[in-house]
Amino acid sequence: MASIFAEHHVGLVRLAFIMVGDRATAEDVVQEAFARTHAGRGRLRDAGKALAYVRSAVLNGCRSVLRRRAAVFRRAVPYEPPAGSAESAALVGEERREVLLALRGLPRRQREALTLRYYFDLADDEIAATMGIGVSTVRSTIARGLAALARALGEDA
């Protein structure tokens, strides 16, 4: 298990980073997942499943971070860009931020499935194993997620 983490450390931190949005937390999440799965090492016989297992552990860590944060920010006021002009409003919505914000606005399952597909290029069955859902659910979740993202970004899917 340790070698899986070693080989995929950067990728796992990137996955967590995309999910939680800041690097320090992302590193903590991966470290925690490492510490937790470390305890259960040896129990996992099928090496082919180890990576999916580790990714699930990281995703789970991200979910609990986001839950904790949601509780903290529930009362926060929606952020209005301090725009003096349409030009600066457009700057706030810079390409990358706009897409990531839209992604963050999606329901958790769509967000996770889209990240695993479009960042990690995982196949349907790999995504299914990582998220613990069925393969057909993965397909429909990705389709719905893309459509929602397209709506949010004002594009054709």
Partner 1 sequence: MNSPVEERLRAALAEAGATIDPDTLRPLRAPARGRARMNVRLVAAGAVAVLAAATAVVGLGTGLGGTAGQDHVAAIAPELAEPGKADMTVFMCSASAMAIPEPRCQGREATAEEVREAERVVAGLPEVQASYTVDRRLAYDGFRAQYVGNRAILDLVKVTDLPVAIRLTVREERDRRKVEKAFRSVPGVMAVVDNTASEREAAAAREPETRLNVFLCGKEAITASCGAESKPGGDAPGGVTITKPGKAVTIAQKKAIEELIKGMPGVQSFTFEDQRAAYENFRRQFASNKRLLDATKVTDMPESFRVVLKPEADWTRVVAALRGQPGVSSVFHLPCSTAGLLVMYRYGLNLPDGTMCGQGGNNLPATP
Single residue of 10, 43, 45, 48 touching partner 1 by CB under 8 A: 10
For CA atoms 119, 121, 122, 128, the dihedral sign is positive
Single residue of 56, 60, 108, 109 touching partner 1 by CB under 8 A: 108
Backbone torsion region of residue 63, taken as left when φ is above 0, otherwise alpha when ψ lies between -120 and 50, otherwise beta: alpha
How many angstroms from the chain centroid is the CA of residue 80? 25
Give every CB contact of residue 21 below 8 A, 6+ residues apart in sequence. 104
Q: Which residues bind partner 1 (CB under 8 A)?
A: 2-3, 5-7, 9-10, 13-14, 17-18, 21-24, 26-27, 30-31, 34-35, 38-39, 41, 66-67, 69-70, 72-73, 76-80, 82-88, 90-91, 94-96, 98-101, 103-106, 108, 114-115, 118-119, 146, 149-150, 152-157
